[in-house]
Structure 1
Amino acid sequence: MDERQRSRRPGGRAARVGAAVHQAVTELISERGHGKFTVGDVAARAGVADSSIYRRWGSLETLLTDVALTRLNARSPMPDTGSLTDDLHTYAAAVAREITGPEGLALLRLAVALSSTGQQGQQALDDLLAERGRQLQSMLDRATNRGEPAPDALAVLDHVMAPMYIRVLFGLGPLTPAYVAGLVDRLLSHQPDPSASPPGP
């Protein structure tokens, strides 16, 4: 296979450049924080030309938005254990591990920082939450189809995800397994039992 054929393959050089640039941004966010590096810094870290980044993303802010949306939504895929209780416990534990790691925390801080940079940044955060809500809803819909009572996606975000995010962002304490499991258990304890008899007149 010659070089031209290789360059046309899906997932070829363009995918490798994209992955290298995303990784470079994630590392720089972890090391320096939002607003403390340039496109040139990203290019040097990724081993690509500045012009490649500008040609593909147009600006640093657009690149940061793409990284936040892509990498955060790619993490913590929805489990499918056959039980909503197990699904939620598995998912919450995975999210806790992700956001307490250096890259996960950096990406979470990036998403929050972008929301204060103007309309594009706020839209990025809205899109991130909307996509996470869609992913959660797919897991909840499976439970409903099995006949299990299920909260809506917003309830999971409010009662499980948000407390973990806030605890990590503000350094309010560790996300211990018991704490994370308790969030899920409290959410599920408010769901009606479909096997219970309906109340009398």
Structure 2
Amino acid sequence: MTEPENAAPQRRPGGRAAKVTEAVHRAVLEAVTEQGVENVGIPDISRRAGVRDSSIYRRWGTRENLVLDVLLTASERTLPLPDTGTAHGDLTAFATALISYLETPLGDSLARALAYVTDSEEITEARNTFWETRYRANQQIVERAVERGELPPDTDARQAIELLIAPIHFRHLLTRQPADAAFVERLVTHVIGAMHSVPAKRARRT
């Protein structure tokens, strides 16, 4: 029996809900690449995906929820973890990859979506899940550096990653200054130096 279009989505692997989600995600990524995140609209996504807009609203609620969900999901598959053998090399490779990613339509759209989207319970949960996933993956860079004796044992991995990525996002979104190799070298050197001079556990007690 054919499932009616307005039936509640069923969470089963390979089921209709999964196919709808895949089609909608693909349509959003196509639209973002072609016309930018600010021009993405649900009627266009509905047409591209071959899915009724009522189904999209029922699943995601708002255009902002939809766009951010798609961008976060796609971004989790990018920026592989570097392993160069040194903290300086790993942080340099990660920073360089992030800069390149932000220059792509997907990366730029994600950064702008995270900046302008209005918070809701769903948005907050999606954003927190995304960043926690990224932190857990990237903390291996710091953990390996600690094991090699390149960083202090009480280094806060999350703080180190924040110190690295914040200036990159700042330049990309606000100042539009170049983030070239010289900038990356200065940034990585500063992050490593900061972790040696102010270990995170002492910083939290002050």
| TMscore range, shorter length | 0.7 to 0.9
Unaligned runs of 5+ in 2: 1-12, 198-206
Report whether the alignment pairs 1:181 with 2:198. no
Partner residue in 2 for 1:42 = 45
Report whether the alignment pairs 1:113 with 2:116. yes
Conservation of the 8 A alpha-carbon contact between 2:31 and 2:40: yes
Pick from 166, 169, 172 the counterpart of residue 170 of structure 2: 166
Distance 1:88 1:12 in 2: 41
Partner residue in 2 for 1:68 = 71
Conservation of the 8 A alpha-carbon contact between 2:81 and 2:138: yes
Pick from 136, 141, 144 the counterpart of residue 134 of structure 1: 136
Distance 2:114 2:139 in 1: 21
What code does the residue aligned with 1:126 have? Answer: N
Structure 1 residues 24 and 81: CA distance shift in structure 2, 3 A:
same
What code does the residue aligned with 1:122 have? Answer: T
Unaligned runs of 5+ in 1: 1-9, 194-201
Identity of aligned residues (%): 36
Pick from 22, 31, 38 the counterpart of residue 25 of structure 2: 22
TM-score by length of structure 2 reads 0.71
Conservation of the 8 A alpha-carbon contact between 2:71 and 2:110: yes
Give the match's secondary structure for 1:74. coil
Distance 2:91 2:133 in 1: 17
TM-score by length of structure 1 reads 0.73
Conservation of the 8 A alpha-carbon contact between 1:27 and 1:103: no
- Give the root-mean-square deviation of aligned CA atoms: 3.1
Tell me which moved more, 73-82 or 41-50: 41-50
Pick from 190, 195, 198 the counterpart of residue 194 of structure 2: 190
Counterparts in 2 of 1:71-110, with a 5 A limit?
A: 71-110=74-113
Give the match's secondary structure for 1:108. helix
Distance 1:170 1:88 in 2: 23
Structure 1: which 4+ aligned runs deviate by more than 6 Å? 10-16
Distance 1:71 1:25 in 2: 11
Conservation of the 8 A alpha-carbon contact between 1:79 and 1:91: yes
Pick from 149, 152, 157 the counterpart of residue 153 of structure 1: 157
Structure 1 residues 20 and 95: CA distance shift in structure 2, 3 A:
farther
Aligned residues: 183
Structure 1 residues 68 and 153: CA distance shift in structure 2, 3 A:
farther
Conservation of the 8 A alpha-carbon contact between 2:81 and 2:137: yes
